[in-house]
Structure 1
Amino acid sequence: MVTKYIATLRAGTATPEPPQPIPSPRRITTWIMRHPDTLTDSQRDQLNRILDACPDLATARDLAHEFCAITRERRGHDLTHWMTQALDHGPSPIQGFATFLQNDWDAVVNGLNLPWSSGAVEGQVTRIKLIKRRSYGRASFALLRTLVLAQPP
């Protein structure tokens, strides 16, 4: 880096731009998963430079955006096409995720197509576990029963 800088001084050219620091993987992931319209111009430029330098990351971004759209819009019929793309062209972590989805394919497709949801049940189970953990075994059964059956505020 010093050699390049000295060479530009000897050549009489303008001072080179200092290199921009590489964003953390967490920040890059955040930029990838956010809607492109919510990024600032600087963030969008940095992300585009990163994606140009790493085509696998660009492919992963495209597949992740498509999968999010499929799940958000409950388009189970599009999952087969996404799966083919992920297994044929995706980076290895995306391929691993797609292979994992194949293990329980019927449940995944039905979860995206059918109108039923177990969300209310899962919410109650989570609430009961929170109450149980909060008492760390110190509460009696009667108190736990009262807390579980009481209406949340």
Structure 2
Amino acid sequence: MNRRTVAKYARAGCWQECVRRTPPRRSTSLDPYLEYLRQRWEEGEHTATVLHQEITAKGYRGHYQRVKMAIAPLRRGLPIDTPRERPPSPRQVARWITTTPPRRGLHATQALRRLLEHCPELDQTHTLVRQFAAMLDARDAAPLPDWLDQLAASGLTALASLANAVRED
């Protein structure tokens, strides 16, 4: 670790001081027009080009693309100024999967559940990892051959390779 990182952790009074905080949303040149865009959307105008032309006539000097991005949440049924959730990194997802469910935080549990609903391969991987963790917790290797068969039959190349490597060892 970098020396400054270690020093920051050493000075911290609690773990919250070490976690990155999301900065507050900055105001943009579009902010004064958000309420108008919301109102026009509810009136039935869903074309970004038309909305851009309307607010340009009212004094907006920004680009069309910003209007298009601002109304994108409305297309999904979300409020216009809702910040988008940043997708988790592969490392973060791996941590969520390998952490035992009772030790996961509420946010991590909900985010992992949403991911597993959208990705069947990840859901299958999660199930197999949790089965392996249960074997380790119980210190019982008896289910290992069946688990390796499940890995090989999973249809996921990386897991099948892992099964072959463990069998070779």
Give the TM-score category using the shorter length. 0.5 to 0.7
Unaligned runs of 5+ in 2: 1-64
Distance 2:73 2:97 in 1: 36
- Map of 2:111 onto structure 1: 46
Q: Deviations over 1:114-149 (max 9, x none)?
A: xxxxxxxxxxxxxxxxxxxxxxxxxxxxxxxxxxxx
Q: Deviations over 1:32-70 (max 9, x none)?
A: 100111122111111111111211111111111111222
SS in 2 for 1:20: coil
Distance 2:135 2:101 in 1: 17
Residue identity matched to 1:37: P
**Structure number having the greater helix percentage:** 1
Distance 1:16 1:69 in 2: 43
Tell me how many residue pairs correspond in the alignment.
101
**Pairing of 1:1-153 with structure 2 (within 5 A):** 2-3=67-68, 5-6=70-71, 14-15=79-80, 17-89=82-154, 91-104=156-169
Distance 1:79 1:6 in 2: 52
Conserved 8 A contact 1:63-1:86: yes
Distance 2:136 2:113 in 1: 25
TM-score for both structures, normalised by structure 2: 0.52
Unaligned runs of 5+ in 1: 105-153
Q: Deviations over 1:81-125 (max 9, x none)?
A: 111111111522111110111113xxxxxxxxxxxxxxxxxxxxx
RMSD: 2.4
Residue identity matched to 1:71: L
Distance 2:156 2:164 in 1: 12
TM-score for both structures, normalised by structure 1: 0.57
Distance 2:73 2:88 in 1: 27
Higher relative contact order (CA 8 A, sep 6+): 1
Conserved 8 A contact 2:71-2:80: no
* Residues 71, 39 of structure 1: alpha-carbon distance in 2 compared, 3 angstrom cutoff: closer
Distance 2:120 2:81 in 1: 27
Distance 1:69 1:87 in 2: 19
Distance 1:24 1:98 in 2: 25
